[in-house]
Amino acid sequence: MATNRTFTMIKPDAVANGHAGAILDRIIKAGYKVVALKYTKLSAETAGQFYAVHSERPFYKDLVSFMSQGPIYAAILEKDNAIEDFRKFIGATDPAKADAGTIRADFAKSIDANAIHGSDSDENAAIEGNFFFSNFERF
Ligand code: GTP
Ligand code: MG
């Protein structure tokens, strides 16, 4: 069943570069309701669990290292057609291929340091949201 929620992380590069506030502002102005929000830091272990689907890929080690290098903002967002719209809103994984005006085009430096995460399916949005948030942290 389709849902209207997605999960996002503002990644360590964007937080370290001071772009988290601007990105969150753009998310809210684009019509997403913030259902849950947390400032936290992944360990190598939790980053590895979060991206376990990529564990056989050549970039997995770098991805885990990058995602655990500094704090992130994690959030659950609500909007009609949230998954698909948010993936368009953040742009392609490689910022060099991201459409103008997308978050990754404007804030990401490379395919590794690509500023933001967006869930790729309703099922994964639920899994990822549950990874970070209890039911007492959603409004
Ligand atoms: P996320 O929103 O972070 O999940 O990115 P995505 O859904 O656009 O891409 P995907 O889930 O396929 O990959 C997860 C992360 O691994 C990406 O955000 C990239 O940082 C990294 N990644 C994916 N593909 C490559 C690749 O071919 N090379 C490298 N170096 N990194 C990659
Ligand atoms: Mg992904």
Domain boundaries, the chain: 5-137
pTM, to two decimals: 0.96
Given 3.30.70.141, 3.40.30.10, 3.40.50.740, 1.10.4190.10, which CATH number is that of 5-137?
3.30.70.141
Residue 136: pLDDT over 70: yes
Q: State the burial class of residue 57 (Cβ atoms within 10 Å of its Cβ: 0-12, 13-18, 19+).
A: exposed
Q: Which atom of ligand 1 is nearest to the CA of 11?
A: 3
pLDDT tens-digit series, residues 59-73: 999 999 999 999 999
Q: Is pLDDT at 2 greater than 80 in this prediction?
A: no
Question: Is residue 121 over pLDDT 50?
Answer: yes
Q: Give the model confidence (pLDDT) of 9-43 as tens digits.
A: 999 999 999 999 999 999 999 999 999 999 999 99
- pLDDT for res 105: 98
Residue with CA nearest ligand 1 atom 27: 59
Q: Ligand 1 in contact with 117 (CB < 6 A)? A: yes
